[in-house]
Amino acid sequence: MASVSIDEAMRRAIGLAARGLGTTSPNPVVGCVLLDPAGEVVGEGFHAYAGGPHAEIVALAQAGERARGGTAVVTLEPCNHTGRTGPCTSALIQAGVARVVLAVTDPNPVAAGGAATLRAAGIEVVTGVRADEAEAGNIAWLHAVRHGRPFVIWKYAATLDGRSAAADGTSMWITSEAARTDVHALRATVDAVVVGVGTVLADDPRLTARNLRDGSLAIRQPLRVVVDSAGRTPVGARVRDGAARTWVATAAEVGADPDGRVDLTALLDLLHARGVRAVLLEGGPQLAGAFLAAGLVDRVIGYLAPKLLGAGPAALGDAGVWTIGDVIDLDITDVTRVGPDLRITGLPRSRKG
């Protein structure tokens, strides 16, 4: 096999890390590529599930003795503590690697310090290679460690004039099957899907990640969360079926805000305590507005259909903006065509980082 550059190896490691999205929480996604002294790939791996072997361990097992004197290229600083698995720093030292190249340093004080341990053992450590790209791929976990709450993605579907339904309330389907398939893939990468009780009463959604063509479910399902201040979710609602875990979060259980509704900050705190690191907020306009007004949305993903309604409910309700000077600005990070629709991704500027 031909030798590869460190940059190419890190790009490969970032791609490997992404395979763990949706299955590693409360742990991060991590990828590792091992190069021998000549620069040839001799092992690679990613962290697949919480409690399972870390990326470095998988790659070292593949490489065996070929790792000695080589370079480990890792998306996140190797862990320096013993949890459900041993420290990766010890494994790298014992394997005899000469250099470790990492993208992002570990902000978790429990596991941090790996770079210092490796340097103390005589291993060269290089940091910051493709750091922005690696951080973006691991943003939910990094955000949760830094801020103590899950990373919240607000997803919505609307016509080009911003309507989420027609004047008579019908909304199936505003976007195409391609867009809906894309949403199911997105659900499979998060730990929880959150909707309000109004969405449950109006649409009776399943909120599972599945294949739209054959109805099969993804291997792992996110927790379904219904924000239901007064406990109005019907016993027979589809979110109560056995396809996935469901939590009907009431004000009595979570805590109430001054208006008697579920306290959203307390809700996120409880989800974080349950190991949730990435949340997909799916509906409806009032709940989305409340999250935005509270500054609790970290990414916006809008699916815009090339259709016009002219009337009907807007995709977003009251978000606490009373004047143009208070507008919530977004930095657009991606625009992709999905079937006939557009998927636009943006970051609220106050929530960046």
Same domain flag for 29 and 90: yes
Amino acid at 108: N
- Of 84, 117, 143, the last residue of a domain is 143
Break the chain down into helix, strand, coil percent, rounded to 5.
30, 25, 45
Same domain flag for 158 and 294: yes
CA distances from 310 to 29, 120, 215, 283 (A): 43, 66, 33, 21
Q: Is 310 exposed, middle or buried (0-12, 13-18, 19+ CB in 10 A)?
A: exposed
257 located within any domain: yes
1 located within any domain: no
CA distances from 197 to 172, 233, 248, 297 (A): 18, 6, 9, 19
What does the chain come to in residues? 353
In whole angstroms, give the CA distance from residue 159 to residue 162.
Answer: 5
Same domain flag for 332 and 213: yes
Instruction: Return averaged pLDDT per consecutive 10 residues of the chain, 353 residues in all.
Output: 84 95 91 95 93 93 95 94 78 95 90 88 95 95 94 96 87 88 92 94 88 67 94 93 93 94 97 95 91 95 95 90 90 96 92 43
What DSSP character marks residue 347? E
Same domain flag for 121 and 243: no
Question: Which residues pair with residue 209 across a beta bridge?
Answer: none
In whole angstroms, give the CA distance from residue 225 to residue 227.
Answer: 6
Same domain flag for 198 and 308: yes
In whole angstroms, give the CA distance from residue 33 to residue 14.
Answer: 9
Complete edge-to-edge strand list for the sheet that includes strand 192-196 = 246-249, 223-227, 192-196, 278-281, 151-159, 299-305, 341-348, 330-338
Same domain flag for 211 and 293: yes
In whole angstroms, give the CA distance from residue 173 to residue 76.
Answer: 41
Is residue 29 within 8 A of residue 17, CB to CB? The reply is: yes
In whole angstroms, give the CA distance from residue 29 to residue 20.
Answer: 6
Same domain flag for 268 and 251: yes
Phi then psi for 85, rounded to 5 degrees? -130, 165
Residue closest to 226 by CA, chosen among 211, 207, 252: 207
DSSP 3-state of 348: strand
Q: What is the 3-state secondary structure (H, E, C) of 3-46?
A: CCCHHHHHHHHHHHHHHHCCCCCCCCCCEEEEECCCCCEEEEEE
- Of 143, 166, 198, the last residue of a domain is 143
CA distances from 186 to 55, 207, 244 (A): 23, 12, 16
Same domain flag for 138 and 217: no
CA distances from 13 to 54, 72, 99, 111, 271 (A): 13, 10, 16, 20, 29
Same domain flag for 161 and 255: yes
303 located within any domain: yes
Amino acid at 178: A
Question: Which residues pair with residue 272 across a beta bridge?
Answer: none
User: Is residue 56 annotated as a catalytic residue, yes or no?
Assistant: yes
Same domain flag for 20 and 138: yes
In the numeric block, the tokens 């065509």 are attached to 337
CATH number at residue 117: 3.40.140.10
Q: Which of 8, 40, 56, 177 is catalytic?
A: 56
**Quick one: pLDDT at residue 217?**
63
- Of 119, 143, 167, the last residue of a domain is 143
Same domain flag for 168 and 213: yes
Same domain flag for 165 and 271: yes
Number of domains in the chain: 2
| Pair of tokens at residue 247 | 């939590």
| Pair of tokens at residue 142 | 């990094």
320 located within any domain: yes
- The boundaries of the domain holding residue 194 are 149-351
Cβ neighbors of 8 (< 8 A, separation 6 or more) are: none
CATH number at residue 216: 3.40.430.10
Residue closest to 315 by CA, chosen among 164, 159, 186, 188: 164
Is residue 160 within 8 A of residue 302, CB to CB? The reply is: no
**Quick one: pLDDT at residue 321?**
87
Residue closest to 50 by CA, chosen among 30, 75, 21, 27: 27
